[in-house]
Chain A
Amino acid sequence: MIPGLIAITILFSASSIEPVSIPIERRMKTFDRLVSAPVSLHAVVLGESLSGFLYSIGIAFVPLVAGLLIFGTTPLSIVPLVSGIFLTSFCFATMGTLFAAYPTESPGDIMSMLNMVRLPLIFISGVFIPLESIPFIGQVAGFFSPLTYGNDLIRAAYLGDSHFNPLIDIAMLCTFILIFQLIANRLYNKFNE
């Protein structure tokens, strides 16, 4: 239970920072300051994602420590745990930044779009229901969810057993980060009127 809890905590915390802070920066017009500075858009997108990343790593400690102290659940191996938490956090922080590209000054607009994606992700990513036991179509959809690989990696850390090879999980998470970053870049470019 703890691995899934950590994965979901990361999903919701990492992707919630930029959808709030960027619209507010738009409203205060400080966002113009960032996008008119002599730094590339890549750097802006990366930097924005960093705050969601750091925040979510902090938050992820709550279920981790609670698991240790209350339920006595200890991770078996540290490398998949750290890479799982870090990569999943960064991946969803970038996803938050991507959604925040939508040119609005109201955080609510982005949050509601984001929830249409985040909630279904939980059900197709093997968090509560193991990937093996969901319908085939769900399994296929699960392949396209970064949460699948993040959750799988953290599970590997706790149970020593995973659906995919942990290296595949890591590779897939990195791929998603890259794709999100590229799409975010394009969107910020496109919406910069």
Chain B
Amino acid sequence: MKRYILMRLLYTVVVILGVSILVFVITHVIGNPVNTMLPLQATDAERAALKHQLGLDKPLMVQLSEFLGGMFRLDFGKSWWQQVPALGIVLHKIPATLQLVATALVIAVVVAIPLGIIAAYKPGTLLDRILTTTSLIGICLPPFWVGLMFVLFFAVKLGWFYTSGYGTIRHLILPALTLSVVPMGHLAQIVRFSMAEQLNAQYSITARAKGASDFAVLFAHALKNAATSIVTMGGMDLGRLLAGETAAVEVVFGWPGFGTLIVDTIGRQDFPLLQAEVFLVAVIICFINLAVDISYGYFDPRIRY
């Protein structure tokens, strides 16, 4: 187990390095931050001066090695736009997004898991068919559109929530609800189908034949075996949301989080800030995956590290 985690950490470092280098090279080859930062009428001399100031006139390899050197000290340089250390800006934006994503995931789990279990327990019923269809639709709807609909209905028409902003629970509910739709659909589907599979498995019939209650078969037997699929799906959704998929929803709701920051950063071609963001996303995703993998060992005794 220790050895496994050590290997995984090593692997994480390699992934983060790889992703960072890739993003660095691509942005430096195809990006043109100087044009974005200066007004259109700026002279060539002004452009050259800014390029020199940002260090963009050095050979790419030199820039890359300077960047990597900094990265190992967790120093990504100052944001070109805000003139403060890039990592600090990113870390500062994380809590708002974390709050949003955590709320969304909790909503998704609380709704999808019980419904998925009930649908699997009574397959082919009206409830099952409604659930499988709506969850499929939920997965396909674009979140920004769902967000706009929620705003129109719950905020504008009913006035229950604020249309945008950050701070109170009345700000939080609508964007969290919007973000919860896709993971809710994913989870409902995976719970429905993996639980149905487990309930039809021979061992579930054996358990019933012993006289076990439906409750015990569902929760003590089947759920533990379905858990690996459910946790995998949950981890993927969590990763996707934290990696900036919140952006559209954050913009719609004026939520000052990580997603909004990424959108701004890309628009401004603020390379140091972008690298800090990429770094953090990679770290988060690697750790979510590690946690998911470790949980497999708990749920499924056939998996040992």
Chains A and B come from one and the same complex = no
A residues bordering B, Cβ < 8 Å? none
